[in-house]
Amino acid sequence: MIEKLVKIKSTQLEEVVKKSGIAIQEGEEIKQSYLPFICRLTEIQEQAVKINFNDPKEIDETIARELRLMTVKIRTGASNLKEDRKKIYLLKGNLEQAAYNLIAASCKVAEESFLQVEKANEIREEKAKQERLTIRLEKLIPYSEGIDLSFYNLKDMTDESFQIIFEGFKNKYDQKKEAERVEEELRLAKIEKDKKERERIESENLRLQKENEAKEKQLAQERAEAKKKCDVIEAKAKKDKEIIEAKLKKEQEATRKANEAKVQSDAELKSKRDAEEKIKRENEAREKAALLAPDKEKLIKLAKEIINISLPDLKCKESINILTNIATLLKKTHDYIIEKSNNL
């Protein structure tokens, strides 16, 4: 806003002279000395009515410059006169200083007014730049976190240059926010995936546990059945042995009685002894054969049953290891039975 031009009047100089306390004649002389400056300044101020202070144009700037320079001459002329007259005496010097101050103050106000008109275009441009800077900062600040905007000449750059910078800031900001969004989505997705994986593992472990329990139950049942078969085999072998022993004992007793009845002489006795010995050997052979044959046959049969035991299909690594060890033990047991049976 350009300040209005404050006009000076000659009566103001008269008032200064009256207040000075100096003699009327001397005061009048001083007044007359400075009055031409007042008159000239008044003329300049009257010419200033040609200036449009509210909306100055180029012609107004030219007139203001001319009047300002003329005003400068009045002020400098008055200053020179003041310096010469102050030397006369102190009172005159004070009066002249007061007169000068009046003129200088008025001139400076006029000069400032003229200067504002003269620089109106520059002032408008500077104001527009400041407004443009404010608008640009308001646009950039939301997208410029951690960036020193003073590095950019936002006030003087063209709209095209600013738009390029703005789009660059906004794109970088959007990319950062998008990256943060994607990262958050990935984080949440990983949490959900880990949760589902834990649930899957827990479910799988529970399923395997149930399968293992069922297979362990089946294996226990199979072991019980195998033990039952072994008990039956042992009972049968024991019974067969008892039958053979009873039969052999009966035969031995009959042979003994028969031999005793036939012994009549030494020849008969020797013959009887030979016969008894032969019978004994035969009986022992028969007894051994009778004892061994069923046992050997039973052992071979047992070996076959052991090697042909149906093992369950397991999936758990620990259970498979146990089953492998069992198969190895069964194979060794089978081989041991066959080897020992062949030696019977």
Contacts of 236 (CB under 8 A, 6+ apart): 298
Banded model confidence at residue 5, pLDDT cuts 50, 70, 90 = low
Tokens of 211: 């399968």
Q: Among residues 64, 41, 39, 43, which one has the least CA distance to residue 52?
A: 64
Element (H, E) at 211: helix 159-262
Eight-class DSSP state of 186: H
pLDDT at position 178: 87
CA 28 to chain centre: 90
Most confident of 65-74, 121-130, 223-232, 290-299: 65-74
CA 209 to chain centre: 38
Q: pLDDT at residue 92 above 70?
A: no
State pTM to two decimals. Answer: 0.32
The answer to whether the beta carbons of residues 15 and 55 sit under 8 Å apart is: no
The 10s digit of each residue's pLDDT in 232-257 is: 667 775 776 677 677 777 777 777 77
Residue 221 CB neighbours (<10 A): 10
Contacts of 13 (CB under 8 A, 6+ apart): 31, 34, 35, 38, 99, 102
Interval 307-324 mean pLDDT? 83
The answer to whether the beta carbons of residues 16 and 82 sit under 8 Å apart is: no
Q: Among residues 341, 230, 243, 236, which one has the least CA distance to residue 290?
A: 243
- Would you list the domain boundaries of the chain? 10-118, 191-342
Average pLDDT value over all residues in the chain = 80
Banded model confidence at residue 30, pLDDT cuts 50, 70, 90 = confident
Contacts of 32 (CB under 8 A, 6+ apart): none
